[in-house]
Structure 1
């Protein structure tokens, strides 16, 4: 096993086509940097760069920047990018020995890593630093949304919306309820109707948030309007809940009036 290793979890990045090009160039540059091993200080390791891009449920391996960019432009949805430079010894030993640096960026996987390892401390540190410094330019603000408190905040906010919606509908439908304290009765009925629905929808809302603010975002300019459709779906869900509650209370009111 190599004597030196550094790794770091990666997140809150927006990757564009230009970023892909620059990262490929960095990995090719590290391939050409001489790193003498401890055992053979006079025999520099021979290294190669390779890349993996997965998009539209298909994965491809590439060995040049042009190939990676060609796949990028073909993609409807980029799912994963892996950049790697490693020595032949590392390849042959499944990375138990030799030199390598790898950057894994995955749309769905929270475990995205930058790792560098070598018997040459200078090469290991230089590779890690060069890539890490470039990634700081790709940082976005998604980390402000993707926190452990987000599910709790969304749950409380959803309950507040349910309370407000239940009260508003109860006041609106109260004249149709032939009971004492129709607003209170209507509010309680709607609250118990909506709360189980919100328990189900909470998971879906968190999924929408994860899609809207991904850990790694592969930005393609011509694919940037699909969030409008998701916002429309959310608005339709809220409208449907309001209409369903209004219909339910109206039906309840008619049943109460028709009961002797």
Structure 2
């Protein structure tokens, strides 16, 4: 294993063409410097397996490519409808052949769909290579932080839960006010309220999952911003998600009203 390693998961970033070009230029610079030092210390030895090689992985529209040219990478990136994952890999042949048990490697992995799969990692036998590489990459990334941190945190999830329960309470209260006069039993208001709230509580688990899904689409952990791409797709997702949530709430209210009327008819008989 390399003697030194630094890594960090990435949270709440927005990348455009310029940001990706900055990462590429930095890694190219590191490749040139590192390889020059390896060649200078070779003393005639074969160092082919110890030279860093820069490559790129891009996954988009359900397909993926591993490339050696940044220009080709940019062409795929700009033409794609939906970029899912981008990876910068600066690796030696020795590192790749040993599954990174030996040698030097740099990796910047940006994954739209999986928050835990976005990270930077630098490993080498030289601590200076690791530190300069790692902090150089993080310095670039910090310029491209997004506002998604407002949503992508546990406090916001708690807020959604509290608001959901409050909404369910108000909905159940309104339903009980409208249903209780038609149910000729003792404590009809309390029974109507509890019954409606129980129905909402069971529906809320499914409904909250859809709300979180909509929020993750709107405020993703990693976002690739490309001029003229993705705006209509994002609006469509938001519109469909909003309509779905509204319809679900409306159906919940209608269902509660129907159940109340059904119970009333049985009790009256």
Please classify the TM superposition score into its range, dividing by the shorter chain length. Answer: 0.7 to 0.9
2:99 aligned with 1:88, yes or no?
no
Aligned to 1:255: 266
Q: Secondary structure at the match of 2:115?
A: coil
Give the Cα separation in 2 of the matches to 1:40 and 1:66: 32
Task: Tell me the number of residue pairs that the alignment of Structure 1 and Structure 2 aligns.
Answer: 258
Give the Cα separation in 1 of the matches to 2:8 and 2:95: 20
User: Which region of structure 1 is more displaced relative to structure 2, 93-102 or 53-62?
Assistant: 93-102
Tell whether the 8 Å contact from 2:31 to 2:52 is kept in structure 1 after alignment: yes
Q: Deviations over 1:105-138 (max 9, x none)?
A: 1123232221112234333322222211111011
Give the Cα separation in 2 of the matches to 1:82 and 1:143: 22
Unaligned runs of 5+ in 2: none
Tell whether the 8 Å contact from 2:207 to 2:245 is kept in structure 1 after alignment: no
Aligned to 2:253: 242
Give the Cα separation in 2 of the matches to 1:235 and 1:219: 29
Q: Deviations over 1:84-125 (max 9, x none)?
A: 112233233332222221111112323222111223433332
How far residue 79 of structure 1 moved from its aligned partner, in angstroms, is: 1.4
Aligned to 1:110: 115
Give the Cα separation in 1 of the matches to 2:159 and 2:190: 27
Give the Cα separation in 2 of the matches to 1:234 and 1:21: 39
**TM-score if structure 2 supplies the norm length?**
0.83
Q: Which of 67, 82, 89 in structure 1 is aligned with 2:72?
A: 67
Q: Which of 195, 201, 209 in structure 1 is aligned with 2:207?
A: 201
Q: Deviations over 1:214-251 (max 9, x none)?
A: 32222344313222321222222112212222222223
User: Which region of structure 1 is more displaced relative to structure 2, 85-94 or 161-170?
Assistant: 85-94
Aligned to 2:244: 233
How far residue 41 of structure 1 moved from its aligned partner, in angstroms, is: 6.4
Tell whether the 8 Å contact from 1:167 to 1:187 is kept in structure 2 after alignment: yes
Tell whether the 8 Å contact from 1:84 to 1:103 is kept in structure 2 after alignment: yes
Q: Secondary structure at the match of 2:229?
A: helix
Aligned to 1:183: 189
2:132 aligned with 1:126, yes or no?
yes
Q: Which of 218, 222, 226 in structure 1 is aligned with 2:229?
A: 222
Instruction: Give the structure with the larger helix fraction.
Output: 2
Q: Secondary structure at the match of 2:154?
A: coil
| Aligned positions of 1:33-72 closer than 5 A | 33-34=33-34, 36=37, 40=41, 45-72=50-77
Give the Cα separation in 2 of the matches to 1:17 and 1:249: 57
Q: Deviations over 1:23-52 (max 9, x none)?
A: 222222222123535x94668853221010
Q: Secondary structure at the match of 2:119?
A: strand
